[in-house]
């Protein structure tokens, strides 16, 4: 059965609370800068912003260990940043520069970084779900390598409510449950699959209940409360490390910006957006920290200054980056081994 976690677990210690706050501020300011750069045509292609949903990445991704894997969606910049992919290489990837984490070949929707086990960025709705099941199955088949530093290696897969209407969702949930794979399904339910309200695209709008039908623990979580997100993720991961099999977390959140930079956003009322902004995840945590004597105006400005410097450095790095030469256009069409001279292997 589904379970709704309390919206406000106790505050952690000051250092940890500040880290959560800083992560959310970093994602917010990074993406605001990306929107600005997009209008200046420094960033091309599609751009889907995470603004409003920062609590999901900030609260859940750091719970995972370095041996775990992360599979994202096309709205994955925040997940990558919190995972530890440097802002410099993420921004360079957005610019399409060689110094980007995928040599500039992926761009906004295909952030990838093997070093942090961040396996995409996926432009296909629901496309990351079977990949996550495959990663978990591969870890299982590797035997001893299946054990991470903290125990069972977990694969966390992020996807939106729209993916829950795709065939891959049901196939992946079924196989993960059938094979008892350690996949943490993280549904970022922002109530709009692109521009379609969930109530007219899903016959059952309780997505955690739908996941529970596959025989796995499934919980609904306040996705605007970073502490609730962290608490739920930690409980799920601990259970999975102990052999608890796949878990499903439905993070009910909300994006403050349009679906993408091309979206005229004609499908929802401005009053609805403003209502949700009153539950801004950054403000919610900052206010609680102030009430608990952990934050004042100077402390908040300190966080903002740190993030501002990090984002400015990321832009400088991307601006100074290099374009891949035309001669390398066909590189990586087929796989290459380290040390290859550029010819396809």
The pLDDT confidence band at residue 146, using thresholds 50, 70 and 90, is very low
Task: Let me know if residue 333 belongs to a domain.
Answer: no
**Residue 247: strand pairing partners:** 184
Question: Which tens digits make up the pLDDT trace of 160-177?
Answer: 999 999 999 999 999 999
* Class of residue 185 by CB neighbours under 10 A (exposed 0-12, middle 13-18, buried 19+): buried
> DSSP 3-state assignment of 338?
coil
Task: Give a yes or no: residue 222 inside a domain.
Answer: yes
Whether the CB-CB separation of 260 and 47 falls below 8 Å is answered with yes
- pLDDT for res 7: 63
Provide the domain limits for residue 40: 2-328
Cα torsion angle, 160, 119, 221, 54, sign: negative
Residue 342 domain-assigned? no
Q: What is the mean pLDDT of the chain?
A: 91
Residue 277, domain member (yes or no): yes
Contact at 8 Å (CB) between 207 and 126?
no
Q: What is the pLDDT of residues 25-76, one digit of tens each?
A: 999 999 999 999 999 999 999 999 999 999 999 999 999 999 999 999 999 9
231 vs 262 pLDDT, higher one = 231
CATH of the domain at 277: 3.40.50.970
Per-residue pLDDT of 296-338, as tens digits, reads 999 999 999 999 999 999 999 999 999 999 998 888 888 776 5
Residue 108: is its pLDDT beyond 90? Answer: yes
Q: Is residue 159 part of a domain?
A: yes
Tell me whether residue 279 is in a domain: yes
Give alpha helix (H) positions in the chain: 14-39, 54-60, 77-83, 87-95, 128-141, 167-178, 207-212, 226-241, 270-277, 281-291, 297-319
β-pair partners for 251: 188, 221
Per-residue pLDDT for 145 more than 50? no
* Nearest Cα residue to 123 out of 144, 136, 134, 108: 108
Residue 341 located in a structural domain: no
Which phi and psi angles does 261 have, rounded to 5°?
Answer: -70, -15
In the chain, how many domains are there? Answer: 1
164 part of a folded domain = yes
**Between residues 264 and 14, which one has the greater pLDDT?**
14
Per-residue confidence (pLDDT) for residue 8, from 0 to 100? 77
∠ at Cα 291 (287, 294), nearest 5°?
90
């Amino acid at each position: 059965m589904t379970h709704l976690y309390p919206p406000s677990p106790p505050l952690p210690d000051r250092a940890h609370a500040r880290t959560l706050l800083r992560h959310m501020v970093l994602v917010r300011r990074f993406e605001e800068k990306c929107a600005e750069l997009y209008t200046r045509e420094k960033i091309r292609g599609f751009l889907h912003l995470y603004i409003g949903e920062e609590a999901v990445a900030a609260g859940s991704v750091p719970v995972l260990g370095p041996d775990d894997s992360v599979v994202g969606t096309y709205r994955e910049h925040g997940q990558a940043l919190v995972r530890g992919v440097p802002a410099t290489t993420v921004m360079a990837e957005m610019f399409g520069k060689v110094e980007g984490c995928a040599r500039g070949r992926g761009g906004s929707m295909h952030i990838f970084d093997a070093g942090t086990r961040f396996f995409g960025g996926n432009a296909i709705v629901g496309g990351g779900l079977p990949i996550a099941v495959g990663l978990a199955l591969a870890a299982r088949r590797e035997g001893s390598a299946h054990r991470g530093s903290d125990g069972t290696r977990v694969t966390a897969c992020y996807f939106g409510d729209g993916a829950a209407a795709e065939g891959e969702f049901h196939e992946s949930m079924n196989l993960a449950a059938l094979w008892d794979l350690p996949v943490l399904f993280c549904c970022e339910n922002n109530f709009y699959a692109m521009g379609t309200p969930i109530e007219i695209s899903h016959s059952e709008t309780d997505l955690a209940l739908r996941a529970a039908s596959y025989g796995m623990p499934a919980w609904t979580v306040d996705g605007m409360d970073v502490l609730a997100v962290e608490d739920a993720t930690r409980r799920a991961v601990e259970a999975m490390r102990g052999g608890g099999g796949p878990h499903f977390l439905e993070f009910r959140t909300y994006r403050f910006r349009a679906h993408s930079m091309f979206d005229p956003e004609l499908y929802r009322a401005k009053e609805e957006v403003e209502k949700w902004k009153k539950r801004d995840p950054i403000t919610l945590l900052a206010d609680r920290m102030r009430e608990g004597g952990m934050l004042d105006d100077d402390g908040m400005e300190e966080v903002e200054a740190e993030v501002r410097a990090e984002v400015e450095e990321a832009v400088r790095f991307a601006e100074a980056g290099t374009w891949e030469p035309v001669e390398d256009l066909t590189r990586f069409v087929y796989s290459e081994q380290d040390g290859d001279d550029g010819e396809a292997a």
